[in-house]
Structure 1
Amino acid sequence: MPHPQKKYFRQRAHANPLSDHTYEYPLFPSEADWNRIFALTDCTPKVDFVDVGCGYGGLLISLAKLYPDNYSLGFELRVKVSDYVRERIVSLREENPSEYRNVSVVRANAMKHLTNFFPKASLSKLFFLFPDPHFKKEKRKWRIVSPTLLSEYAYLLKSGGRIYTITDVHELYEWMKQCLDEHPLFDPIPEEDIENDPVVPFVRESTEEGKKVARNNGVKLLCVYVRK
């Protein structure tokens, strides 16, 4: 199967996460059909890493190679974009029969349904890479990092699990950092420990948005926090 071409899967960058979208999701984590989601029959995956708003799957593909023994799942709200990631994974599996079996994508709304997919303290890493800034004050409720949502993320992360955020928008960086600093269940990772984290280079460089920021000589503002 040839690799899908992004030009056939382009979709506007902004999607209202509070709108009523049509997609399937489990009522409870115990009902999540992981064998179907990962297209596997010889084992039942247990998801470790989640990329929220995974875009065209750059980080997911990197995670598949970097952590071959861990399962990574992308959440993407846009139909065409999630279709692209799914076809990309199928193509890579066909080219490399023993690889990329540990990565998949679902079209779902992380703001509403993360806890429908995952039980308490089950995830090791959560990624929020170059999220939509939602600049207007009345749309800040759409931001994927907020005090309320951080409580859900803390519920899903194991003790010692990490949350990664990166943006090129200074105002959004300050917002996310303040939300994380003020939340009682998260502590910042020291800068020297961040640079020793093997996933951080891929957080900065693997996504389409990250590459665009680099081409434009923009700044990438990174935060990494640990679940207490």
Structure 2
Amino acid sequence: MPVKSDAQEATNDPFAYEQNKDKSFSKDFQYKHRNPYHDKLTEFSEFVLRDEEAEEYQGKWNSEVFKQDGELCLEIGSGYGHFMLQYCDSYRDQNFVGLDYRFKRSYALAKKLKSLPYRNFKYLRAKGERIEHLFAENELDKVFYFFPDPWPKARHHKKRLFQLPFLERAYKVIKPGGYFFVKTDHDGYAEWMKEVIEKQDLFELELETKDLWNDAPDHLLCQFKTKFEKIFIEQGVNIKAFVLKSKKAN
């Protein structure tokens, strides 16, 4: 049987990939790496959790980790931490969990976080695919997903996190009436997201825009700018955004 090339296997259809087969989603998934920054992150064990460490607190984030009531927020892909730093400072009564998978970037952000005089946050060196193993059903109030890697080449589209199986997992852990906020600079990924949203009935589409800063300048999403967002805006790139509200009944 002839082997298909990447070009032959590639597709723009967001429903063509079987994301559930990705082992990162499975309960028995184990992190494997030899990166020196894994050990270096122990310098910040007061607020940094690595790999499976965070999954021990599923359902206990407010009661045992933060030890205070408040909205529980998750940012998937915290990157250099611009949004996380600004949001935690502005909403100190909320409990914020930042998450990223890259080692060196995580270490750089942890050094910034250590200098803060408040501690309404935790940082996870972990995968966004693990959301249902990190949090219990109805545990999160808000999820932020800003400027993810668009994986622009067609043969890499299967790596895009925003697919229906992931959205179903997010729906499970977000509270009734809770929110999923998305921003992207990438036109192709925005169209992909729109198709996924149109094929689901878990979330109400409360906001959709191809030009966030002109269409909704007073929205929460315009209170903060990430590092990349500033660059995109300076380059004249419109910011695409979606705000999804859980339809789950109380």
Query: TM-score per shorter chain, which class?
Result: 0.7 to 0.9
Structure 1, unmatched stretches of 5+, are 1-16, 94-98
The amino acid that maps onto 1:213 is F
- TM-score under structure 2 normalisation? 0.69
Structure 1 residues 82 and 29: alpha-carbon distance in aligned structure 2, compared to 1, 3 A threshold? same
Aligned to 1:12: none
What whole-Å deviation, never above 9, does each CA across 1:58-108 have from its counterpart, x for those lacking one?
111122122221111111000111111211111122xxxxx3x11221100
Kindly report structure 1 stretches of 4+ aligned residues shifted beyond 2 Å: 17-24, 26-35, 43-47, 194-199
1:32, 1:86 → 2: CA distance? 24
Structure 1 residues 28 and 82: alpha-carbon distance in aligned structure 2, compared to 1, 3 A threshold? closer
Mapping of residues 158-169 of structure 1, within 5 Å: 158-169=175-186
Q: Is the 8 A contact 2:31 2:52 kept in 1?
A: no
1:45, 1:103 → 2: CA distance? 13
Aligned to 2:40: none
Aligned to 2:198: 181
- Are positions 1:211 and 2:230 aligned together? yes
Q: Partner of 1:206: helix, strand, or coil?
A: coil
Q: Partner of 2:115: helix, strand, or coil?
A: helix
Structure 1 residues 92 and 145: alpha-carbon distance in aligned structure 2, compared to 1, 3 A threshold? same
State the structure with more CA Rg: 2
The amino acid that maps onto 2:155 is E
Mapping of residues 31-180 of structure 1, within 5 Å: 43=67, 48-93=72-117, 99=118, 101-111=119-129, 113-180=130-197
Aligned to 2:52: 25
What whole-Å deviation, never above 9, does each CA across 1:162-185 have from its counterpart, x for those lacking one?
111111111110111221221110
The amino acid that maps onto 2:174 is L
Q: Partner of 2:114: helix, strand, or coil?
A: helix
The amino acid that maps onto 1:107 is R
Structure 1 residues 56 and 184: alpha-carbon distance in aligned structure 2, compared to 1, 3 A threshold? same
- Are positions 1:225 and 2:244 aligned together? yes
Instruction: Give the alignment's Cα RMSD to 1 decimal.
Output: 2.9
What whole-Å deviation, never above 9, does each CA across 1:100-125 have from its counterpart, x for those lacking one?
x11221100111x2222210011111
2:179, 2:31 → 1: CA distance? 30
Structure 1 residues 212 and 190: alpha-carbon distance in aligned structure 2, compared to 1, 3 A threshold? closer
Q: Is the 8 A contact 2:143 2:181 kept in 1?
A: yes
Structure 1 residues 33 and 124: alpha-carbon distance in aligned structure 2, compared to 1, 3 A threshold? closer
Structure 1 residues 148 and 180: alpha-carbon distance in aligned structure 2, compared to 1, 3 A threshold? same
Structure 1 residues 21 and 181: alpha-carbon distance in aligned structure 2, compared to 1, 3 A threshold? farther
1:33, 1:159 → 2: CA distance? 18
Structure 1 residues 21 and 77: alpha-carbon distance in aligned structure 2, compared to 1, 3 A threshold? farther
1:132, 1:168 → 2: CA distance? 10
Per mean C-alpha deviation after superposition, the further-off stretch among 77-86 and 59-68 is 59-68
Structure 2, unmatched stretches of 5+, are 1-22, 25-29, 34-49, 210-214
- TM-score under structure 1 normalisation? 0.76
Q: Is the 8 A contact 1:51 1:126 kept in 2?
A: yes
1:21, 1:31 → 2: CA distance? 21
What whole-Å deviation, never above 9, does each CA across 1:31-84 have from its counterpart, x for those lacking one?
68859x97x7xx367771111011011111122122221111111000111111
Structure 1 residues 161 and 31: alpha-carbon distance in aligned structure 2, compared to 1, 3 A threshold? closer
